[in-house]
Amino acid sequence: AQTVTQSQPEMSVQEAETVTLSCTYDTSENNYYLFWYKQPPSRQMILVIRQEAYKQQNATENRFSVNFQKAAKSFSLKISDSQLGDTAMYFCAFMPMEYGNKLVFGAGTILRVKS
Amino acid sequence: DSGVTQTPKHLITATGQRVTLRCSPRSGDLSVYWYQQSLDQGLQFLIQYYNGEERAKGNILERFSAQQFPDLHSELNLSSLELGDSALYFCASSGGPPRENTEAFFGQGTRLTVV
């Protein structure tokens, strides 16, 4: 069974600084996707970034980037130039590439950006 | 707009009652997932359907049931409701074949309050 672990229940960062959220996962699959979702106070689930396991290059989306270490089964999210609007719960998620794949979430990390 | 539609957005009902939550997935998506999120809690996976068939089951109570119809919309039925069932219920959808539209897109959720 696949599991996703986020070891940081809460984190805080000063506006304009950089913060890294940790995520590890466990799977026997070789082909899969990894995601970071953001859930602001509005409770809407928003996809932040996606990484395909078969790609060695780390995904980036503007101020958001990941450090994907397949052998270590680690998938951290780096947020640069943090903004107040980044305050949210962040969920790491895993999805096998097989048909009818199941999406597995970590417990989440609350990120607070301070002015 | 994620393309996933959940109705109703809010629902208030009494203990012991039964309610039905509805989800219309993104056009072309074959998988539908249901999640429960209590206040300040993570996402609890309930159940997944893929192209009309149950694919994976999580911590879904026996009082809860779901189905996916031929047009791919899904319904989550909650019966004999208890105060503890008050939560935000999310539906998400994702594509079918590997390497195609594999992100899970979330609806805005149905906020259920049991009084």
Residue of B30, B33, B99 lying closest to A103 (CB–CB): B33
Chain B residues whose CB is inside 8 A of the A51 CB are none
- Of the candidates B35, B42, B98, the beta carbon closest to that of A98 is on B98
Strands B110-114 and B10-13: parallel
A50/A57 Cα distance (integer angstroms): 12
In B, which residues are within 8 Å of A52 by CB distance?
Answer: 99
What is the rounded average pLDDT of the residues B9-14?
Answer: 97
Q: Which of residues 30-89 of A touch B (CB under 8 A)?
A: 31, 33, 35, 37, 43-47, 50, 52
Residue A106: predicted pLDDT: 94
pLDDT value of position B32: 92
Characterize B76-93 residue by residue with b for buried, 16 or more Cβ atoms within 10 angstroms of its Cβ, and e for exposed: bebeebeeebbbbbbbbb
pLDDT at B101 over 60: no
Could you tell me which residues come within 8 angstroms of residue B64 by beta carbon, excluding any fewer than 6 positions away?
Answer: B46, B76, B77, B78, B79
Calpha distance A67→A41 (Å, rounded): 26
- Percent pLDDT > 70 in chain A is 97
Interface test with B, best of A102, A105, A109 (most B CBs within 10 A): A102
Q: What is the model's pLDDT at position A97?
A: 77
Lowest mean pLDDT among A74-83, B3-12, B15-24, B88-97: B88-97
A105/B56 Cβ within 8 A? no
Q: What is the pLDDT of residues A33-88, one digit of tens each?
A: 999 999 998 889 999 999 999 888 999 999 999 999 999 999 999 999 999 999 99
Mutate to test the interface with A, among B26, B103, B108 (most CBs of A within 10 A): B103
Q: State how far Cα A95 lies from the chain centre.
A: 13
Residue B55 confidence (pLDDT) = 86
Size of interface A-B (CB pairs under 8 A): 68
Whether A100 and chain B come into contact, CB under 8 Å, resolves to: yes
Question: What's the pLDDT tens digit per position in B42-81?
Answer: 788 899 998 899 988 888 999 999 999 999 999 999 999 9
Local confidence band at A99 (pLDDT 50, 70, 90 cut-offs): low
**Range from A14-23, A42-51, A96-105, B89-98 that averages highest in pLDDT:** A14-23
